[in-house]
A and B are shown apart, each in its own frame.
Chain A
Amino acid sequence: MSSPESSPYKATEAAEHTETRKTEWPLWEIFIRGQHGLSHRHVGSLHAADAEMAIKNARDVYTRRNEGVSIWAVEASAIAASSPEEKGALYEPANDKVYRHPTFFDIPDEVGAM
C-alpha cells in the first residue's frame, strides 16, 4: 500500500503546519483495472473533497493514456494494512507447508504432463 495513515512527521523542514491538515482534502488511494482483464491494481494516491471528485481526478492523473477501464477510489484512512514487523509470524503458517507447491511431488516421466 502506498500511503494509508500519513501520520505527521515532525523532524523535517516541511512539517510544522498543523493547521493545514484540518483544511486539506482527504487522501484517496486509487486502484485501476487495465484493458486486459486483470484485477484492479494500486497506482498511487491523490487528494479530493469527495468520492466523485476522487474518481474524476484519478482519471486525469492516472489514465491520461488509456491505462484503465475501471477506477476504484478508497479513502486512505479506511484501509487496514498489515505491519512489516509482523511479517514473520503472519506468514509463518504458509512457510512450513511446502507440499502446497506442485514441485513437492515427483511424478515419473512416463506419466506425461501433469
Chain B
Amino acid sequence: MYAQMIKSTGQGVKSLDEMEPQERAFQERIDAGGKIEPKDWMPDGYRKNLIRQIGQHAHSEIVGQLPEGNWITRAPTLERKAILLAKVQDEAGHGLYLYCAAETLGVTRDDLTRDLLSGKMKYSSIFNYPTLTWADMGAVGWLVDGAAIMNQVPLQRTSYGPYARAMVRICKEESFHQRQGFDIMMKMAKGTDAQRKMAQDALNRFWGPALMMFGPSDAESVHSAQSMAWKIKMNSNDELRQKFVDQTAPQAEYLGLTIPDETCKLNEETGHYDFAQPDWDEFFDVLKGNGPCNTERLEARNKAWDDGRWVREGLLAHAAKKRSAKMAAE
C-alpha cells in the first residue's frame, strides 16, 4: 500500500492484564472505538509507528506526482491536460494533509522530507515504475488509485484522530482520480487497434506492481498484529488484495482487456476471484532501491528541494523584514 512493511515494536501484542493502568486505559479507549488525539498519552511505539506509517504515506503522495506529472505536457487534449493537472494537484494536497497529521506527533515536515531525500524513509514501491505511454495515465488512475482506495477507506476509522480526518478528506477526492483513469481506459480500449494495444500493454505492466502495493502476506506478522490492535491498520494485506482483484477483474472484462494472469478466474465455490501472487522477489528488489525509477525519483525530489532552497530562505527573510518594519512603524 502507500505505506508498506511498517515495523512495529516486534514484541507481539500485550494483553490488557499485562499493561500498566495508563496503557490499559489507552487500549480500552481504542477497543471501544474512541479516538486518540495529539495531546493524549500514547505508548511510544504507537507514536513511532504512526510517524513511520503516515510519513511513508505522505511521501508516496508526493513522489506519486512524478509518474503522472510526466504526461501533463503531452496529454492528448486540453481537457485531459486540465483533468490530469487537477489530479496531480490533489496528490500534492494529500501529501500535505498527511504531513500535517504526522506533525501533530512531534516531527516536522522538514524532518520527514530530509529522511525521504536521504533514502532513510520509503515511499510506495509502485512509484518506482515508469509511465511509458498515455495509456499508463489510465492504468495508474484505475489500478493504482483504485488499490489505494481499498486501503484508505477503512483507514477513515483509524484510532488516531488527525490521521482519520486526513483520510476522510483524501477519500472524498480519490474517486475522481479512479474514474478519470477508468475513463481514459474506456476511450482507449474502445478506440483504434493501436489504442487498444496500448491499453492492454499498460494493464500488463501495472497489474503485478498494483498487487504488490498491498505488501506481502502478513497473516503471521507480529508487526501487523500490533498495528491492528492499535487500529492503525484495519485489514490484512491479503484481505485487501482479494477485494481489489474481485473489484477489478470484472472491470477489465468490461473494457475487453485481459488480466495478465491465466489463473485469474471467478471461483464459484468461494465467490472470489482466484489469482496468482505477483513476483515478490521483484518487490523486495524495488524496495531495496533497484526498481526501474528509484534513482530518478529520488534525484527529482532532491533537485526540487535544493533548487527551492533560495525561495524558502528568501521568503522567510522577507517575512522577517516586513515584521520588523511593521514593528518600527507602531
Contacts and interface: CB of A to CB of B under 8 A. Distances in A.
A46 interface: yes
Interface string B309-330: 0001101101100110000000
Contacts of B315: 25, 49-50, 53
Interface in B148-168: 162, 165-166
A53 B311 CA distance: 13
B39 A81 contact: yes
A1 interface: yes
Contacts of A84: 37, 39-41
Contacts of B55: 14
A50 B264 CA distance: 55
B90 A14 contact: no
Contacts of B319: 49-50, 53
Contact of A83 (B39, B101, B104, B121): B39
A46 B97 CA distance: 8
B107 A9 contact: yes
Given A24-B109, A45-B100, A83-B39, A13 B121 contact: yes
B108 A21 contact: yes
A6 B104 contact: yes
A8 interface: yes
B108 A20 contact: yes
Interface string A43-75: 111110110010000001100110000000000
A3 interface: yes
A83 B47 CA distance: 18
Interface residues of B, number: 46
A65 B111 CA distance: 30
Contact of A11 (B48, B93, B165, B169): B48
A93 B100 CA distance: 34
Give the one of B41, B104, B173, B322 with max A CB within 10 A. Answer: B104
A13 B108 contact: no
Contact of B107 (A15, A23, A44, A46): A15
Interface residues of A, number: 34
Contact of B51 (A9, A44, A50, A64): A9
A49 B318 contact: yes
A3 B44 contact: no
Chain B interface secondary structure, helix, strand, loop or mixed?
Answer: helix
Interface in B110-166: 110-112, 114-115, 120-121, 162, 165-166
Given A17-B114, A20-B110, A12 B48 contact: yes
A21 to B, nearest CB: 6
Contact of B96 (A3, A23, A46, A49): A46
Contacts of B38: 1-3
A2 B104 contact: yes
Nearest to A16: B111
B274 interface: no
A3 B51 contact: no
Interface in B76-116: 86, 89-90, 93, 96-97, 100-101, 103-112, 114-115
Given A14-B55, A81-B39, A84-B39, A2 B110 contact: no
Contacts of B86: 64
B174 to A, nearest CB: 13
Interface of A: 1-3, 6-9, 11-15, 17, 20-21, 23-25, 27, 43-47, 49-50, 53, 60-61, 64-65, 81, 83-84
9 closest pairs, A vs B, by CB? A9-B106, A49-B315, A50-B319, A49-B319, A20-B110, A3-B104, A45-B100, A14-B115, A14-B111
18 contacts: A3-B100, A6-B104, A11-B48, A12-B47, A12-B51, A13-B121, A14-B115, A17-B111, A21-B108, A43-B169, A44-B96, A45-B100, A50-B319, A50-B323, A53-B315, A61-B93, A81-B39, A84-B37
